[in-house]
Structure 1
Amino acid sequence: MKTNITKSIDEYIQNFPEEVQSVLQKIRKTIQKEAPEATETISYAIPTFVQNGNLLHFAAFSKHIGFYALPSGNQAFQKEISRYKSGKGSIQFPLNEPIPYPLIKKIVKFRVAENLEKTKKKVSKKKSPIQKKKSKPNRK
C-alpha cells in the first residue's frame, strides 16, 4: 500500500477539490498575516505553523476543516467556539458554513503571544543562575 505523505503545505492543499483549496489557502494567508515570523511545515501529516514552538495546525476533511490551536487556544475562546464541534485541542469548522476567519485571526494572535511569553520565561529561567553568580561580590 502506497501512502501519500505530503512534504509541504502547498502539496497538502493541492490534494483537495478547488473549493476546499480556496478555504485552506485563505486560512493559511490569515495565519501568515497574523504570524509573519512563523515557519510552515508538515507535522502529524497536516499543515503546521511553528513560532517559538508549535503554534497551530489545520487540516481538511470531507465535511469540515479541523483547526488545532492546542488546548490553550480552545480554552481562551470557549464562548466563541461553543457553536462548533470541538475537543480538548480541536475545533471543527463545517465546510457548508462560512469559515470564521476573524475568529481564526484572534486565535492565531493569542497563540503567538502565548508562545512568545513561554519563550521569554524559559530564557529568563536559564539566565537567572548566571545573573546570580554575577551579582555575588568577590571576597578574597
Structure 2
Amino acid sequence: MPPRFADVDAYLAALPTDSRAVVAEIRRRIRAVAPPDAVEEIAYQMPTIKLDGKNLLHYAGWRQHVSLYPIPAADEALRAEMARYADGKGTLKFPLREPIPYELIERVAAALVEERR
C-alpha cells in the first residue's frame, strides 16, 4: 500500500532527493500566484491547491520528472509553450534532467486561478 501523507511537508520529506528541491520550489511558486484564500492539502496522495473548496491544481514529484495536473484551457501562446511538456490528457510532465521552467509553472497556476475566478 502506498504511503499516506498527513500534509505537504510530509510528502516533500518522502520524495527522492533529486525531485524534493524542485517540488519545493514549484510549491513556493504556486503559492506565490495563488489567492490568499487558496488552501494547500494532500489529495490523491499528492500536494493539491484548493480554491473555493474544489481542487485547482495538483503537483507531484517522481524519480525522473515532476508533474502538474490539470492543464488550463489558456490562450494560444501559453498552450504552445505547454505543448512541449504535455503528457496525456491533462498532465504536464517536466523532466528532471532538463532545466525546470518555473516561470511557465507560475503562468499555468495563474491561468487555472483565472479560469476558476
Instruction: Identify the TM-score tier after normalising by the shorter chain.
Output: 0.7 to 0.9
Count of matched residue positions in the alignment of Structure 1 and Structure 2 = 112
Report the RMSD for the aligned CA atoms in angstroms: 1.5
Written as runs of structure 1 = structure 2, the 5 A alignment for 1:35-54 is 35-37=34-36, 38-52=38-52, 53-54=54-55
Percent identity, please.
37
User: 1:92: Cα distance to partner?
Assistant: 0.6
Task: Give the TM-score, by structure 2 length.
Answer: 0.87
Cα distance, 1:85–1:108 mapped onto 2, change above 3 Å = closer
Q: Which runs of 5+ in 2 are unaligned?
A: none
Deviating more after overlay: 24-33 vs 77-86:
77-86
Larger radius of gyration: 1
Matched, 1:60 2:61: yes
Using the alignment, how far apart are the partners of 1:85 and 1:9 within structure 2? 24
Unaligned runs of 5+ in 1: 117-140
Matching residue of 2:19: 20
Q: What secondary structure, in the 3-state scheme, does the structure 1 residue paired with 2:63 have?
A: coil
Supply the AA of the counterpart residue of 1:82: A
3-state DSSP of counterpart to 1:30:
helix
TM-score scaled by structure 1?
A: 0.74
Deviation at 1:50, TM superposition (A): 0.5
More helix by share: 1
Deviation sequence 1:3-40 (CA, Å, 0-9, x none): 41111110001012333211111000001100042100
Secondary structure, counterpart of 1:93 in structure 2: strand
Cα shift readout 1:79-138 (whole Å, capped 9, x = no counterpart): 01222242221011001111111101111111111111xxxxxxxxxxxxxxxxxxxxxx
